[in-house]
Amino acid sequence: MIRFILADLRRLWAASLVIVLLVALATALGVAVTLQERALRLGSARAADKFDLIVGAPGSETQLVLSSVFLQPAALPLMPGEVLTKLAADPRVAWAAPIGFGDNFKGYPIVGTTTALISGTTTGFIEGHMFAREGEAVVGSGVELPIGAEVKPMHGAADEGGETHADSTYHVVGKLQPTGTAWDRAVLVPIQAVWHIHGLGEEHEHGGEAVANGASPAEAQTSQTAAAGGEEHHHGHIDADAPLNEDFSRQLPGLPAVLVKPKTIADAYKLRQEYRTDSTTRAVFPAEVLTSLYATLGDARTVLMYVAYGAQALIAAALMLIAVIHVAQRRKQIGALRAFGAPRFAVFGIVWLELLLLVVLGVGAGFGMGYAAAEFLAGLFTAQSGVRMPVEFTGADGLLAATLIAFAALMAALPALLAYRQSPVEALRS
């Protein structure tokens, strides 16, 4: 029987290929949606694992997490600098690190931070060492800059008329091991250097709102003045050879966010509660914020899955029509088999197995195509954001494949039943 089926499929290879492709495309759509949604969940969750608690000014919790964890540029309000001073001195805190944004270099975000954050969230260096002076920078594994490269910070995007801080330059002194997070595409510099470039220091007041991550109140006012045709603003600059000063007991400028590593889980919840009730701060667990984002993502996945199910239903109906026409065109062949003594169940089995085999091949090809599509999309997302998106199958995908094949087995039974009930005499007469 198997040889007969294979010979029949070779003879009708064009029609068989069309059936396999239709099934593969319908399956690939659903598989790609499922895998990509799962990859986004896993990738974002793993990226947020390194950050236990984020403290920022009252505002959008979602934007605070997206800006701090995933380095997405946005306007964040600033909180008073003494929040960092208080957190750094808190016995419940292992380390607290400020982060400042706003500048970039060739599309890579420049993030002002501290050695404590880098040491606490990475696994070491591919080459080079930690920055020790204001003019030094450490880059993530995804930044295509060699040791010794010069980095001239630009405020704003180049295609939108961004302004380069021509009198300030960083030199790359180290490249970090991959982390699978957005920080792999970041240029990390001392937070003091970011403050100095933007004209901030101990003599500057803090508070207010930022027009971009890490922008000072002075810069916000400057943007408004420039838009109104006012006087040109002169930025500060860094002292490239100045040693680091990570003593946060002094007066500090306003901050968009502080990343906090509590010593225990209980400390984390106590700190979150304490800094949520304060009218000047908002503390969040990134995992909690991501949960709400996953709900939105799940709604989008549901819509796309319904589209996939609709496509699969249409293709199933088309395959049924093709199968019935195929059986009708083979009436003489089926009648000849019956006339030569082939039992009804043998004819049923031949037709049923042929269709089932084609569908199984299509489902297998669809899973491969869906995986390839999800990998391609994940690669694009990783290249743009730096967050690694793991595309992987789970037991649920095996259950989906089994369900599709079981449905195909039932679907193939209808044309096989038509062949089973066909009279050999009537088939040979027609």
Q: Name the one residue in this structure whose structure tokens are 């995007």.
A: 157
Lowest mean per-residue pLDDT among 113-117, 166-170, 307-311, 416-420: 416-420
Which H/E stretch holds residue 262?
A: strand 257-262
- Greater model confidence, 290 or 258: 258
Helices 13-48/286-329 angle, 10° precision: 170
Rounded Cα distance between 410 and 419, Å, is: 15
Is residue 379 located within the same domain as residue 241? no
Give the pLDDT band (50/70/90) at residue 22: confident
Mean pLDDT over 261-272 rounds to 94
Lowest mean per-residue pLDDT among 73-82, 146-155, 219-228, 339-348: 219-228
Beta bridge partners of 283: 55
Which pLDDT score, from 0 to 100, does residue 56 have?
Answer: 92
Is residue 327 located within the same domain as residue 412? yes
Name residue 182's amino acid: A
**Two structure tokens written together for 246:** 């990570």
- Greater model confidence, 173 or 412: 173
The 10s digit of each residue's pLDDT in 227-263 is: 223 333 446 677 777 787 777 777 788 889 999 999 9
Do 211 and 220 touch, CB atoms closer than 8 A? yes
Is residue 196 located within the same domain as residue 330? no
Q: Name the one residue in this structure whose structure tokens are 């064009």.
A: 14
Q: Domain end: 284, 307, 337, which one?
A: 284
Is residue 273 located within the same domain as residue 135? yes
Is residue 145 located within the same domain as residue 240? yes
**Residue 140 dihedral angles phi and psi, to the nearest 5°:** -75, 165
Total domains, the chain = 2
Residues making up the chain, counted from first to last = 430
Give the pLDDT band (50/70/90) at residue 271: very high
Give Cβ neighbours of residue 423 (< 8 Å, ≥ 6 apart).
335
Rounded Cα distance between 187 and 168, Å, is: 15
Q: Domain end: 250, 284, 318, which one?
A: 284
Mean pLDDT over 370-387 rounds to 87
Q: Which of 144, 146, 164, 140 is nearest to 154 (CA)?
A: 164
Is residue 205 located within the same domain as residue 251? yes
SS3 of residue 134 by DSSP = coil
Beta bridge partners of 112: 100, 189
User: How far, in Å, are 221, 222, 225, 231, 414 from residue 228 at the CA level?
Assistant: 11, 10, 5, 9, 75
The 10s digit of each residue's pLDDT in 175-233 is: 999 988 889 999 999 998 888 887 766 444 333 444 334 443 333 333 332 322 333 34
DSSP code for 77: B
Mean pLDDT over 265-272 rounds to 94
Give the pLDDT band (50/70/90) at residue 426: low
Q: Domain end: 266, 284, 302, which one?
A: 284
Name residue 308's amino acid: A
Do 73 and 109 touch, CB atoms closer than 8 A? yes
Rounded Cα distance between 393 and 364, Å, is: 13
Is residue 209 located within the same domain as residue 108? yes
Q: Name the one residue in this structure whose structure tokens are 């499922």.
A: 34
User: How far, in Å, are 149, 177, 191, 200, 257 from residue 206 at the CA level?
Assistant: 33, 35, 15, 9, 13
Is residue 64 located within the same domain as residue 207? yes
SS3 of residue 303 by DSSP = helix
Do 69 and 272 touch, CB atoms closer than 8 A? no
Is residue 63 located within the same domain as residue 191? yes
| Most confidently predicted of 232-241, 285-294, 363-372 | 363-372
Which pLDDT score, from 0 to 100, does residue 430 have?
Answer: 52
Which pLDDT score, from 0 to 100, does residue 85 have?
Answer: 92
Rounded Cα distance between 261 and 265, Å, is: 10
Which range of residues forms the domain containing residue 227?
A: 53-284
Is residue 75 located within the same domain as residue 104? yes
Is residue 279 located within the same domain as residue 302? no
Is residue 143 located within the same domain as residue 226? yes
The 10s digit of each residue's pLDDT in 124-134 is: 899 999 999 98
Considering only CA atoms, give the Rg of the chain.
31
Single pTM value for the model: 0.72
Mean pLDDT over 365-377 rounds to 93
Alpha helices in 70-185 (DSSP H): 82-88, 115-121
SS3 of residue 430 by DSSP = coil
Mean pLDDT over 120-127 rounds to 89
Classify residue 12 as exposed, middle or buried by CB count within 10 Å of its CB (0-12, 13-18, 19+).
middle
Which pLDDT score, from 0 to 100, does residue 365 have?
Answer: 93
